[in-house]
Amino acid sequence: MTKQEQSILTENNYLDASFEQWALILDKIYGKRNEQRSISEMWLRAVSDASKVGEAVRKSDAYEAMLYLTHTFGWVITSSTKLLKLEFDGKPALLGSDSKPHNCLTNIVLSKYPSICPYCGGVPCKCSSMRKTVERESKSERRLRLNKVNLQAKEDGILPETISGLSNMFEDIYGQVHYGSSLESIAFHFLEEIGEVASCITSLEDGKGRHRELVPYNIQLPEEIADVVGWGFAIMSKLSTLAKDADRLVQAFNGSQDKPESLSTSWNSTHILPKYLWREFYSNSEQQYQCHHCKSNPCEC
Ligand SMILES: [Zn+2]
Ligand SMILES: [Zn+2]
């Protein structure tokens, strides 16, 4: 099978989708429209959808939360596609802390989270019990350490490549930690990170090269994007562990005729995002990928 054939998502393999496969599909639907938008205009739409996630969480509506989370991830994916090609002051918009440009969203996530918690190095995360040690390390020391861990993990071939693999990774690191946190506090964190990305983008567009701690914004930006992805998965994980909410998600995905009690056992957080991306951007009746809003490909919104 050629690489191109492998990259085609079908009804049979969409659960194993990668961010890069969705980047290609969403580029076909939205690429032309997004060419005319600046990156801050695009991210404003991510902010808009993320605020609806916040509203849905406040109203305890799991289905709406997941729907808008999926749309937010759509913007995370398409904004990353744009940022990967973008330069500010002649420098790539997304730079690794090893000063190499990033090449895809999955690597952006894994650079900050190479299958471990970036702060305590633990799986599961042990930050709360070793706060002093964690705080002793400077940000530049942490970046150096993570680069080494990332290189080693790549060599060992243990880094996930699919969306469900990334979801599992975050579950392994933070599942226990978030067990004791409320959905609201997790959603707050997610919104905070969405805002941090906005802040990096506006600083880069304004021509400010460096953060007050002397970290270039184009190194900070991909780290913030990784945080958005991590907290997004944390919301999904939480939704799937709240039984009532999980049932609602399953019903919404499978159609209302299904009985929720027969479904919740087969439903776990791993595949929520691949399922909802498929649900929102693929039409079973039209047998094509399309914009969830205008139902066209390419999007005519
Ligand atoms: Zn930790
Ligand atoms: Zn559209």
pLDDT for 107 equals: 95
- Is there a contact between 107 and 77 (Cβ–Cβ < 8 Å)? no
Q: How far is the CA of 154 from the centre of ligand 2 (A)?
A: 38
**pLDDT value of position 25:** 95
Ranges of the chain whose pLDDT falls below 50: 1-3, 5, 256-266
Instruction: Give the pLDDT confidence score for residue 100 in this predicted structure.
Output: 93
**Cα 292 to averaged position of ligand 2 atoms, centre (Å):** 7
Contact 222, 215 (CB under 8 A): no
User: Which pLDDT does position 266 carry in this prediction?
Assistant: 47
Distance CA 168, CA 160 (A): 9
C-beta separation of 9 from 21 below 8 A: yes
Ligand nearest to the CA of 134: 1
Max distance between CA atoms of the chain, in angstroms, equals 56
Give me ligand 1 centre to Cα 296, in Å.
43
Residue 225 has a pLDDT of 98
pLDDT at 253: 65
What's the gap in Å between 189 CA and the centre of ligand 1? 15
- What is the CA(290)–ligand 2 centre distance, in A? 8
Q: How far is the CA of 134 from the centre of ligand 2 (A)?
A: 45
CA 294 to ligand 2 centroid distance, Å: 4
Per-residue pLDDT at 249: 67
Res 244: pLDDT: 60
**Angle, CA of 258, 236 and 71, to the nearest 5°:** 90
Residue 243 pLDDT: 61
- Calculate how far, in angstroms, residue 30's C-alpha sits from the geometric centre of ligand 2: 8
Domains of the chain: which residue ranges? 3-289
Of all ligands present, the nearest one to the C-alpha of 293 is: 2
- Which ligand has the minimum distance to the alpha carbon of residue 298? 2
Q: Note the pLDDT tens digit of each residue in 186-225.
A: 999 999 999 999 999 999 999 876 766 678 999 999 999 9
Distance 205 CA to ligand 1 centre (A): 32
The alpha carbon of 119 and the centre of ligand 1 are apart by a number of angstroms equal to 5
* pLDDT at residue 246 in the model: 66
Cα of 103 from ligand 2 centre, angstroms: 27
Rounded Cα gap, residues 294 and 291, in angstroms: 6
Q: Which ligand is nearest to the CA of 295?
A: 2
CB neighbourhood size of 65 (10 A) = 27
Give me the pLDDT at residue 1, please. Answer: 39
